[in-house]
Amino acid sequence: MAGPEGQQTEPSSHGGSPTHETTGSQGSRLVVSWLIVGLPLAYGIYQTISKTLPLFGG
Partner 1 sequence: MAVLAFLDREHTVAGPGFSRWLIPPAALAVHLCIGQAYATSVYKTALVAHFDTSLTAIGIIFSIAIVMLGVSAAILGTWVDRVGPRKAMFAAACFWASGFLVGALGIGTDQLWLVYLGYGVIGGIGLGIGYISPVSTLIKWFPDRPGLATGMAIMGFGGGALIASPLSSQLLARYDSGFDPADPTTVASGDAVMKLFITLALVYFLVMMLGVFNVRVPAPGWMPPGFDPAKLTAKPMITAANVSAKNAVKTPQFWLLWTVLFCNVTAGIGILEQASPMIQDFFRNSDGVSAVAAAAGAGFVGLLSIFNMTGRFVWSSTSDVIGRKPMYMIYLGVGIVLYFLLATFGNAATALFVLLAAVIISFYGGGFATVPAYLRDLFGTYQVGAIHGRLLTAWSAAGVAGPLIINGFLDAQGKPGELVAADYRLALYTMVAVLAVGFIANLLIKPVSDRFHESKDHTDAFLEAKAAESGTVKTSSGRNS
Residue numbers at the binding site for partner 1 (CB under 8 A):
1-10, 12, 14-23, 26, 29-30, 33-34, 36-38, 40-41, 43-45, 47-49, 51-56
Q: Nearest approach, Cβ of 31 to partner 1 (angstroms)?
A: 10
Tell me if 26 sits within 8 A of 1, measured CB to CB.
Answer: no
Q: Nearest approach, Cβ of 57 to partner 1 (angstroms)?
A: 8
Q: Nearest approach, Cβ of 43 to partner 1 (angstroms)?
A: 6
